[in-house]
Amino acid sequence: MKLLEERIRKNGKIFDGGVLKVDSFLNHQIDIKLYQEIGKEFFRLYGGENVTKILTIEASGIGIACVTAEFFEVPVIFAKKSKTKNIAGDVYTSKVESFTHGKVYDIIVSKDFLNAGDRVLIIDDFLANGSALKGLIKLVEDAGATVVGAGICVEKAFQPGGDLIRDMGVRVESLARVKSMSMEGGVEFC
């Protein structure tokens, strides 16, 4: 998606250690018109797939998922990062490793909201190591529902997540695929 690539080139900030900050328009401050174009593009890609639910993970996936859901006219569910060992009610759960924060946490979704008949589109802002996406796929599979695919804003294609998930047979559509980046040379897309 040219619009997103151009925006990353213009306003993205690169830091040491492979960190790409897009927080002026994507995941701290949000350009709502850009979100609308992103949602429209996900609908172009997955609109024919009879999606019944959109699944994302807190926090920065929620806004993108909601604006995307307006095109699909289906509910959004966001997986919560669990703070407590004792979770009220029945939930699907899986483990996600955060490389940024250096720890493993549980994510949960209430069993009330994912059903065997559901066709689920997973939405997230970033795909790097694929741990969050793998965790979300497991939640859908545990519910006996179908993963239609994943819609990702920014994929770091030089990290293993995208290949890993595609090798599982899951369709992954990333609107901007970063091939390489450096503080000197900027961002190069696939």
Per-residue tokens: 174: 């990333």
Site for a second copy in 80-119 (CB under 8 A): 80, 83, 101, 109-110, 112-113
SS3 state at 4: helix
CA 167, distance to chain mean position in Å, is 17
By CB under 8 A, tell whether 28 contacts a second copy.
yes
- Report CA Rg, the chain: 16
Smallest separation, CB 32 to a second copy (Å): 4
Total binding residues toward a second copy, as defined by CB under 8 A:
33
Strand partners, 108: 80, 93
Among residues 76, 132, 153, 175, the one that binds a second copy under rule CB under 8 A: 76
Rank residues 113 and 158 by Cβ distance to a second copy and give the closer one.
Answer: 113
Report whether 126 contacts 61 (CB < 8 A): no
By CB under 8 A, tell whether 183 contacts a second copy.
no
Rank residues 2 and 83 by Cβ distance to a second copy and give the closer one.
Answer: 83
Report whether 61 contacts 80 (CB < 8 A): no
Rank residues 80 and 164 by Cβ distance to a second copy and give the closer one.
Answer: 80
Phi–psi pair at 81, nearest 5 degrees:
-80, 120
Binding site for a second copy (CB under 8 A): 23-24, 28-33, 35-36, 58-60, 62-63, 65-67, 69-70, 73-78, 80, 83, 101, 109-110, 112-113
